[in-house]
Structure 1
Amino acid sequence: MARPDKAAAVAEIVEQFNESAGAVLTEYRGLTVKQLQDLRRALGQNANYAVVKNTLTQLAAKEAGVEGFDDLLTGPTAIAFINGDVVEAAKGLRDFAKANPALVIKGGYVDGASMDAKEIAKLADLESREVLLGKLAGAMLASLSQAVYLLNAPLAQAARIVGALEAKAQQDPSILAGGAGAPAAAAEEAPAEEAPAEEPAEAEAAADDAAETEAPAAEAEVAEDAPAE
């Protein structure tokens, strides 16, 4: 490859490193052209899978500030430059490698940090960005609804109290003037309590006492009116 062509190829790899969210380095030895096409279709918009030359990739990695690739650039090499969801791209590579053992994931460079094959596998086990954002949004909405409930509860109670006062004021306008309501009419007052009736046993005892008191007096009057013998 002529020097201008090498420079152009290095510049192209550098651009892909800079514009990608991450890059996963693989060895594709033993994969057919059809299998490589299937892999590219499986990755879709999440990654651009490109076959690269090791020497040029090494130069491009240094220029782009990508570390950890020097020891991995051996054998037939291809890089998945991730343009979409990093987790989804890692899942696609992992699933394809399970179905096609000829694809070997060597490592990667994601979010400014180098990752080995095990770390790429752990990344593939994570939930997608959409799922994680959905769960986060759900948690935030739940917390927000709880906060709204706590803030609105006193207001709702106040509204009920105001409504009750308005209804009472319509029936008795004196409440608005600070009064306790119009006094009840005298005619509407409860009748005075009558003296409780005596119990039957007490009434009989009182009658007996009165009879005993009146009897001696009557006998005395009879004695005075009787003629002397």
Structure 2
Amino acid sequence: MNRTQKEEKVAALHESLKEAVLVIVAHQNGLSVGESTDLRRRMYQAGANFRVTKNRLARIALKGTRFEGLDDLFTGPTAVAFSEDPVAAAKVAVEFAKKNDKLTIVGGSLGDQKLDIAGVEALAKLPSLDELRGRLVGMIQTPATRIAGVVQAPAGQLARVFGAYARKDEAA
């Protein structure tokens, strides 16, 4: 890789990190191409990204972002997962690491808050932004359907009373 390619990679990673809310740093020891592709696909589906990085280039890309404090985690065969959703990358990384010993989570950062392994795992247990939105919509809709049912009940009772009087008059 020549110097201009390195500069382009650093600039692209820097821009991605500036937009990210969550960054997870992991060591990947011997992930096959298939496993790495599977992990990338899962990350992409969750709205996150996963990149294997050169430590020196990643440290340069971290400069000027809120994740500068993570530079000490970049030792050994390192990969980085990041997302704009505060939970997405953590969920996928922790789930994948549980099933595959070749990926080891080292730490991460949520905004300015540096996370250790336990912090990343705790973050992975939280519901995602989409799940929270779904719950909120469900909570908002539930009272509306109850109100509609209560409002319709007297009208239905009134219609049954009128129907009973009409049948009574026809019978007489």
Alignment TM-score > 0.5, same fold = yes
CA contact (8 A) 2:94 2:124 kept: yes
Q: Compare 95-104 and 63-72 and name the one that shifted more.
A: 63-72
Cα deviation 1:129-153 (Å, max 9, x = unaligned): 222223333444567789x89xx9x
CA–CA distance in structure 2, aligned partners of residues 4 and 89 of structure 1: 29
What pairs with 1:46-65 in structure 2 (closer than 5 Å)?
46-65=47-66
Compute the TM-score of the two structures, normalised by the length of structure 1: 0.56
Aligned residues: 149
Shift of 1:67: 2.9
Where does residue 164 of structure 1 map in the other structure? none
Where does residue 154 of structure 2 map in the other structure? none
CA–CA distance in structure 1, aligned partners of residues 61 and 133 of structure 2: 34
CA contact (8 A) 1:26 1:106 kept: yes
1:13 equivalenced with 2:50 (yes/no): no
Shift of 1:2: 4.3
Shift of 1:104: 0.6
Where does residue 126 of structure 2 map in the other structure? 126
Structure 1 residues 92 and 143 mapped into 2: Cα distance closer, same or farther (>3 Å)? Answer: same
CA–CA distance in structure 1, aligned partners of residues 5 and 42 of structure 2: 30
CA–CA distance in structure 2, aligned partners of residues 33 and 145 of structure 1: 50
Shift of 1:106: 1.2
Counterpart of 1:121, as a letter, is: E
Shift of 1:119: 0.9
CA contact (8 A) 2:107 2:115 kept: yes
Shift of 1:93: 1.1
Counterpart of 1:111, as a letter, is: G
Where does residue 33 of structure 1 map in the other structure? 33
Cα deviation 1:163-196 (Å, max 9, x = unaligned): xxxxxxxxxxxxxxxxxxxxxxxxxxxxxxxxxx
Structure 1 residues 68 and 111 mapped into 2: Cα distance closer, same or farther (>3 Å)? Answer: same
For the pair shown, the structure with the greater C-alpha radius of gyration is 1
User: Which structure: greater strand fraction?
Assistant: 2
CA–CA distance in structure 1, aligned partners of residues 56 and 11 of structure 2: 13
CA contact (8 A) 1:29 1:102 kept: yes
Identical-residue share of aligned pairs (%) = 39
CA contact (8 A) 2:23 2:89 kept: no
CA–CA distance in structure 1, aligned partners of residues 38 and 7 of structure 2: 30
Secondary structure, aligned partner of 2:68: coil
Unaligned runs of 5+ residues in structure 1 are 153-229
- RMSD of aligned residue pairs (Cα, Å): 2.6
Counterpart of 1:6, as a letter, is: K
What pairs with 1:1-229 in structure 2 (closer than 5 Å)?
2-45=2-45, 46-83=47-84, 85-140=85-140
Counterpart of 2:54, as a letter, is: K
Unaligned runs of 5+ residues in structure 2 are 152-172
Shift of 1:34: 1.5
Secondary structure, aligned partner of 2:106: strand
CA–CA distance in structure 2, aligned partners of residues 67 and 16 of structure 1: 14
Larger RCO (CA within 8 A; separation ≥ 6): 2
CA contact (8 A) 1:61 1:67 kept: yes
CA–CA distance in structure 1, aligned partners of residues 137 and 38 of structure 2: 35
CA–CA distance in structure 2, aligned partners of residues 100 and 39 of structure 1: 10
